[in-house]
């Protein structure tokens, strides 16, 4: 029989190899899933991972890689700071929605303004929206010791209802003939987050994501706050002896992750999405959790993981179009990444041993 034996220290080899093994295992298991659905598994995997970059539709899909990766990286960077400190923000999707609502409200209230300061003001409002929404579980955690996982997750559904109400009410386009949804920001130049370099997919949200990666690296490696985050996650008792306030750290981590998620929502609604609608929520806040762990909570690892997950988004859409794969199968395929990542992660902290049989 096999048993798990805890390692004295986590294995560096397994820690580095786990993301690669998780991706390979996901391809194998995904291929079996696609085969059970009656689709050619090798062609499906090739369509997801190869065709978006080098296939016949690559000229269209390659720019979309940055468009999809931007919000995932931005949200995952914020989440990773909390996860390192054992602060579990699972409600980034709600903060993403509230950031879009706050930012869009500022832009629509100023319509038809024509100022270069409008988009920065909307970005500040979006960050504030996500920050304030994240402060609800932060305050409840620090004052009443509630579970931030449950509170932040439940607030996602509240945010979705508020988004729906805004689409039908306060933010509805007065010239939209009664249809739900706000004005289209693509037709509002001062508030539109368009491509900075045509044909690349690069917009201000992608720039913000790259800046967040660099900022998180500097924070974790050069700033006292980063030291406190790492110590609180690795040795909570040592952190308390060092004078780290758990309540303050919880609020800071939730606040930063909420602000970054809000920024991602603002850049998405003023760019690729174009408007507030009843189905604006895209699941980026939940997918970013996979990105954060796939990147090992490391800023540059998250950058690569975000690009990989964006590739599965684009490839999944191609597979639905070309192979008639159901959307649920693509979502299951993406979820397998986290499942295998956590499964292989066990081997970084434990080694398999043969259990000796009991003596007669």
Contact yes or no for 70/209 (Cβ under 8 A): yes
Q: What is the mean pLDDT of residues 206-219?
A: 97
Torsion of CA 156, 308, 223, 149, to 10 degrees: 20
For residue 39, what is the DSSP state?
S
pLDDT in the model for residue 250: 94
pLDDT in the model for residue 342: 86
Distances (CA, A) of 296 to 88, 108, 165: 15, 39, 38
Q: What is the mean pLDDT of residues 153-180?
A: 92
Count, residues in the chain = 360
pLDDT band at 359, cuts 50/70/90?
low
| Higher local confidence (pLDDT), 351 or 137 | 137
For residues 147-171, b (16+ Cβ closer than 10 Å) or e, as one string? Answer: ebeebbbebbeebbebbbebbeeeb
pLDDT in the model for residue 16: 85
| Higher local confidence (pLDDT), 169 or 214 | 214
Establish how many alpha carbons lie within 13 A of residue 208's alpha carbon, considering only the half-sphere containing its beta carbon: 26
Q: For residue 331, give every residue at least 6 positions away whose Cβ sits within 8 Å of its Cβ, in sequence order, or none.
A: none
Counting Cβ atoms within 10 Å, is residue 144 exposed (0-12), middle (13-18) or buried (19+)? exposed
For residue 272, what is the DSSP state?
T
pLDDT in the model for residue 354: 79
11's tokens: 């294995």
User: What is the enclosing helix (H) or strand (E) of 352?
Assistant: strand 350-354
H helical segments located in 223-352 = 224-234, 236-241, 246-269, 284-294, 299-323, 327-349
pLDDT band at 357, cuts 50/70/90?
low
pLDDT in the model for residue 171: 92
166-175 long-range CB contacts below 8 Å, 24 or more apart?
166/101, 166/105, 166/276, 167/276, 167/277, 167/278, 167/280, 168/278, 170/105, 171/101, 171/104, 171/105, 171/108, 171/276, 173/275
Say if residue 360's pLDDT is above 60: no
Q: Which of 220, 43, 191 is nearest to 115 (CA)?
A: 191
Say if residue 11's pLDDT is above 90: no
pLDDT in the model for residue 337: 87
For residue 187, what is the DSSP state?
G
Least confident of 109-118, 168-177, 254-263, 347-356: 347-356
Instruction: Please write the tens of the pLDDT for every residue from 296-317.
Output: 999 999 999 999 999 999 999 9
Least confident of 64-68, 259-263, 288-292, 342-346: 342-346
13's tokens: 């080899």
Say if residue 48's pLDDT is above 60: yes
Say if residue 351's pLDDT is above 90: no
Instruction: Please write the tens of the pLDDT for every residue from 220-271.
Output: 999 999 999 999 888 888 888 878 899 999 999 999 999 999 999 999 999 9
| Higher local confidence (pLDDT), 251 or 1 | 251
H helical segments located in the chain = 12-36, 41-49, 51-54, 58-84, 92-109, 118-144, 148-168, 204-222, 224-234, 236-241, 246-269, 284-294, 299-323, 327-349
Report the distance separating Cα 33 and Cα 332, nearest Å. Answer: 9
pLDDT in the model for residue 139: 96
Q: What percent of the chain has pLDDT over 70?
A: 99
For residue 4, what is the DSSP state?
E
Report the distance separating Cα 80 and Cα 292, nearest Å. Answer: 6
Residue 350: phi and psi, rounded to 5, are -135, 150
254's tokens: 């939730």
Strand pairing partners for 350?
A: 6
Contact yes or no for 177/169 (Cβ under 8 A): no
Say if residue 191's pLDDT is above 60: yes
Contact yes or no for 259/83 (Cβ under 8 A): no
pLDDT in the model for residue 308: 93
Triad 210, 215, 216: Cα angle to 5°: 100
Which domains, from first to last, does the chain contain?
1-39+325-360 (no CATH), 59-324 (1.10.3470)
């Amino acid at each position: 029989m096999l048993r798990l034996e805890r390692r004295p220290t986590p294995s560096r080899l397994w820690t580095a190899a786990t993301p690669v093994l998780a991706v390979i295992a996901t391809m194998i298991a995904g291929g079996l899933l696609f085969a059970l659905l009656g689709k050619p598994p090798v062609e499906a995997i090739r369509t997801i991972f190869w065709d978006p970059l080098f296939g016949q539709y690559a000229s269209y899909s390659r720019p979309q890689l940055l468009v999809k990766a931007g919000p995932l990286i931005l949200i995952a960077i914020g989440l990773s700071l909390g996860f390192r400190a054992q602060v579990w923000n699972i409600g980034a999707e709600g903060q993403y929605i509230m950031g879009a609502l706050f930012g869009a409200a500022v832009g629509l209230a100023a319509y038809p303004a024509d100022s270069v300061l409008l988009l920065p003001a909307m970005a500040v409002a979006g960050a504030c929206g996500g920050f304030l929404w994240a402060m609800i579980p932060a305050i409840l955690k620090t004052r009443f010791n509630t579970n931030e996982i449950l509170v932040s997750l439940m607030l996602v559904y509240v945010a979705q209802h508020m988004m729906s109400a805004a689409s039908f009410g306060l933010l509805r386009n007065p010239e939209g003939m009664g249809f739900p949804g706000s004005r289209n920001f693509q037709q509002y130049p001062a508030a539109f987050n368009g491509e900075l370099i045509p044909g690349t997919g690069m917009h201000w949200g992608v720039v913000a994501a790259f800046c967040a990666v660099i900022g998180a690296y500097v924070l974790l490696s050069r700033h006292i706050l980063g030291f406190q985050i790492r110590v609180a996650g690795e040795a909570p008792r040592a952190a308390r002896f060092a004078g780290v306030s758990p309540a303050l750290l919880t609020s800071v981590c939730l606040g930063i992750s909420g602000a970054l998620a809000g920024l991602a929502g603002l850049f998405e609604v003023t760019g690729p999405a174009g408007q507030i609608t009843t189905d604006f929520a895209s699941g980026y806040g939940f997918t970013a959790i996979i990105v954060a762990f796939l990147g090992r909570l490391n800023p540059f690892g998250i950058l690569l993981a975000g690009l990989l997950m964006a590739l599965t988004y684009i490839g999944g859409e191609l597979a639905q179009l070309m192979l008639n794969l159901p959307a649920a199968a693509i979502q299951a395929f993406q979820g397998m990444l986290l499942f295998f990542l956590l499964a292989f992660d066990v081997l970084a902290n434990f080694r398999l041993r043969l259990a000796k049989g009991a003596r007669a």
